Amino acid sequence: MFLELLKQEIEQHQLLKQGETVLVGVSGGPDSIALLHGLHQLSPDYGWSLFVIHVNHQLRGKESDEDAHYVEDCCEKWNIPCRIERVDVSGVIAAGGGNKQATARRLRYEAFQNAAESFNADKLALAHHADDQAETILMRFIRGTGVAGLKGMDRVRSWNGIQLIRPLLGISRQEIESYCAERDLHPRFDQSNLSLTYTRNQVRLQLIPMLTTYNPQVKEAILQLSEVVREEEKVWDQLVQDAFKEILVKKSDSSITLDVSSFLHFPVALQRRIVKLILSCLLRQGTSEATLDSIEQVRKVSIHKNPSVSIDLPGRIKVEREYQLLRIKVLGRANGQKQEKAGAEPVVLSVPGVTSLPGFVGRIEIIVSDQPIHSLQPCRDWTVFDAEKIRPPLLVRSRRPGDRMTCYGLNGTKKLKNLFIDAKIPRQSRDSYPIVTADEDIIWVPGVRRSNKAIVTPETKHFLYCLWYTD
C-alpha cells in the first residue's frame, strides 16, 4: 500500500524524472527510513541514482551517534552511498546565541547543500508527511499567518540551484509506521519527540488529539484546506505578478520603485500581496520575514498625507514616499550609516554652445541672438535672459545647504529646498539637478524655476536662450 501511494505521489506531482540523481535526507526515524527504502524499491524501474545525507547534531550524546551508525548500516545493506555530517549546534549557540531548533535547522540545511553539490544531485528528497503538514498549518495559524501560509509546505520548491521535494506529503504517519513494521526496518526513535518543550510536540501530542474530539477527521479537514488554498494561491500569484508589472516604475537588485496612484487604485488585499512580494524579494538573502506589520507600515507610507516621508523596517529595509513614487529598498550591509554623496564638480557653460554636464541630469545649450527666437527645438525646459545683464561666466553646480533664489513673479527670495518640493522633485534626484549661476547668483534651475535676474524687456537688444535637454 505504502509503495503504491509513494509511486502515485511521485508520478501525479511529477516529483522525479527517469534517471535523476536524488539526495535523500535521512535522520534514521520512521519517516526518512520509509522514504529511503521506498525510493530504493522503486529505483530499478526509474533508473534513479540514490545518495544519503545524515546530519548528526550531537544533541543527544550516544543516541545521536547510534542514529548515525544505524543509517550507515542501512545504506551499506542497500548499497546506497552515504555521507555523515557532524554539526556542533551547542557550540554555535554558545558562541553566538540563538534558538536551538533554528540553529540546528540552519546547520542541517548547510550540510544538505554541501552534500548536494558533492553528489551533483538533481533533487533533495525530505520525509515530511501528511501529519507534519497538518501540524505545520496549525502552528502557522496559532502564530499568525496570511492566507498563503495555510497552504503549508510545498511538495516541490526551488532550493539553491536544485529542487527540494517531499514525496510523503500525501501519506500519513500511520501508513509510514505500518510500512516500517511490515518491512522489518526497525527505525530509530528520537525521545525528544515526546518532550512538550517544543511547540510542534505540543501541537501533535495535545492540540490535535483535543481537536479530534470535536472532529475525528480534523487532520483530513486541515489537509483539504491546504489543497484548496494551494490552488487558489496559484491564481493569486498570477494576479499579483500582473499587478506588480502594471505599477512598477524601476527595479534593481536592491530597490523597487512603484507608482503610488496606480498602487492605491488596487484593492487592499492586492496591495498587501504586492508589498509582500517586494519585501520577500528584497529580504531573500536575510533572516527577516515579510511580516503583516511591515506590510501595513509600507501601506501607511503610501497613503500618508505628507508627500515626502520615509520609515525604516526590520531587515535593513527603507521605505520612501516621494510624491507619486514609492521606493522600497534594502540598505547596504556596511555600518548602516547614510552615505554622504559629494556634489558633482561645477561646470562652465559654453556661451554659445552645448555643454554636457557630468554628474548632473542632461545637457544645456546656450544660444545668443539679436532677435527673439519664436521657434526653439524641442527640449525639456528653456528660459531666456537679457544677455547684456548677465555677467559671465555661467556655471552649473549642485545644490548647497541654505540655497535661496529670487523667483520670477515673486517678491523676495525662496529656499531652493522649497522650490524643489513645490515642483515635486524627489529628494533622491535633487543633488543631480543642475543649478545655473551667474556672478554667484542662482539664475535658473531647469525644470523648476528661473530667477527675476536679467528679465527680457522691450529694450532688450541681445537675447541669451538656455535650453535643457534630458533625452
Show binding-site residues. Answer: 27-32
Q: Could you say which DSSP state residue 180 is in?
A: H
C-alpha cell at 243: 499587478
CA angle 409, 415, 416 (to 5 degrees): 90
Are 24 and 125 contacting, i.e. CB atoms less than 8 angstroms apart? yes
First to last CA, the chain: 69
49-56/82-86 β-pairing: parallel
SS3 of 425, please?
coil
- Cα–Cα distance for residue pair 243/427, rounded to 1 Å: 26
Q: How far apart are CA 173 and CA 196, in angstroms?
A: 19
CB 318 within 8 A of CB 329: yes
Residue ranges at the known binding site for ATP: 27-32
What's the rounded Cα separation, in Å, for the pair 99 and 102? 5
How is residue 290 written as a grid cell?
515579510
The residue among 313, 167, 302 whose CA lies nearest residue 247 is 302
What is the rounded CA–CA span in Å between residue 132 and residue 471? Answer: 58
Say how far apart CA 122 and CA 22 lie, in whole Å: 6
Phi (first) and psi of residue 275, to 5 degrees:
-65, -40
CA 229 to chain centre: 22
What the block records as the C-alpha cell of 342 is 559629494
Q: In terms of Cα–Cα distance, which of 41, 12, 11 is closest to 24?
A: 41
Q: Which of 333, 317, 231, 319 is nearest to 282 (CA)?
A: 317
CA distances from 285 to 104, 134, 288 (A): 19, 28, 9
| Contact criterion met (CB below 8 Å) for 162 and 121 | yes
Angle between helices 268-282 and 218-247 (to 10 degrees): 80
User: What CA–CA distance (Å, rounded) separates 412 from 39?
Assistant: 83
